[in-house]
Amino acid sequence: MTFIAIFLLLAGFLMVFKTSLFWSITERWTSKDGTEPSDLYVWNTRFGGIMCMIVGIAGIVIDIVT
Protein backbone atom coordinates (compact mmCIF):
# COMPACT_ATOMS: atom_id res chain seq x y z
CA MET A 1 0.00 0.00 0.00
CA THR A 2 2.81 2.40 0.83
CA PHE A 3 4.44 1.87 -2.57
CA ILE A 4 1.25 2.90 -4.38
CA ALA A 5 0.84 5.95 -2.14
CA ILE A 6 4.42 7.07 -2.78
CA PHE A 7 3.97 6.50 -6.52
CA LEU A 8 0.79 8.61 -6.52
CA LEU A 9 2.53 11.34 -4.55
CA LEU A 10 5.48 11.46 -6.97
CA ALA A 11 3.22 11.34 -10.03
CA GLY A 12 1.15 14.16 -8.53
CA PHE A 13 4.26 16.31 -8.04
CA LEU A 14 5.26 15.67 -11.65
CA MET A 15 1.78 16.56 -12.88
CA VAL A 16 1.60 19.79 -10.86
CA PHE A 17 5.12 21.17 -11.16
CA LYS A 18 6.40 19.69 -14.45
CA THR A 19 3.25 19.76 -16.57
CA SER A 20 5.14 20.22 -19.85
CA LEU A 21 7.37 17.23 -19.12
CA PHE A 22 4.33 15.12 -18.25
CA TRP A 23 2.67 16.24 -21.51
CA SER A 24 5.73 15.37 -23.59
CA ILE A 25 5.90 11.91 -22.00
CA THR A 26 2.21 11.04 -22.32
CA GLU A 27 0.42 13.15 -24.92
CA ARG A 28 2.88 14.80 -27.31
CA TRP A 29 2.30 12.21 -30.01
CA THR A 30 -1.43 13.08 -30.13
CA SER A 31 -0.83 16.77 -30.91
CA LYS A 32 -0.92 17.93 -34.53
CA ASP A 33 2.01 20.35 -34.22
CA GLY A 34 3.59 18.90 -31.06
CA THR A 35 4.78 22.23 -29.68
CA GLU A 36 3.06 22.73 -26.34
CA PRO A 37 0.03 21.60 -24.32
CA SER A 38 -3.18 23.62 -24.37
CA ASP A 39 -4.25 25.74 -21.41
CA LEU A 40 -7.11 23.34 -20.68
CA TYR A 41 -4.71 20.38 -20.65
CA VAL A 42 -2.40 22.20 -18.22
CA TRP A 43 -5.30 23.05 -15.90
CA ASN A 44 -6.72 19.51 -16.01
CA THR A 45 -3.32 17.93 -15.44
CA ARG A 46 -2.57 20.15 -12.45
CA PHE A 47 -6.00 19.41 -10.96
CA GLY A 48 -5.41 15.68 -11.43
CA GLY A 49 -1.96 16.04 -9.90
CA ILE A 50 -3.41 17.70 -6.82
CA MET A 51 -5.93 14.87 -6.48
CA CYS A 52 -3.13 12.28 -6.82
CA MET A 53 -1.10 14.04 -4.15
CA ILE A 54 -4.08 14.14 -1.77
CA VAL A 55 -4.72 10.42 -2.24
CA GLY A 56 -1.00 9.65 -1.88
CA ILE A 57 -0.73 11.63 1.35
CA ALA A 58 -3.90 10.02 2.69
CA GLY A 59 -2.50 6.56 1.87
CA ILE A 60 0.73 7.30 3.70
CA VAL A 61 -1.10 8.71 6.73
CA ILE A 62 -3.44 5.73 6.89
CA ASP A 63 -0.50 3.36 6.63
CA ILE A 64 1.29 5.13 9.48
CA VAL A 65 -1.80 5.23 11.71
CA THR A 66 -2.72 1.57 11.29
- Is residue 57 predicted with pLDDT exceeding 70? yes
The tally of domains found in the chain comes to 1
Top-confidence residue, 3 or 66: 3
Residue from 31, 29, 26 nearest 49 by CA = 26
Read off φ and ψ for residue 46, nearest 5 degrees. -65, -40
Hey, what's the torsion of the CAs at 23, 24, 27, 29, to 10 degrees? 160
**Can you give the pLDDT at residue 34?**
67
Top-confidence residue, 44 or 23: 44
For residues 44 and 19, is the Cβ–Cβ distance under 8 A? no
Chain centroid to CA 23: 10
pLDDT tens-digit readout, 9-35: 999 999 999 988 888 888 877 777 767
Domain ranges, residue 19? 2-65
Q: Give the pLDDT mean for 54-65.
A: 94
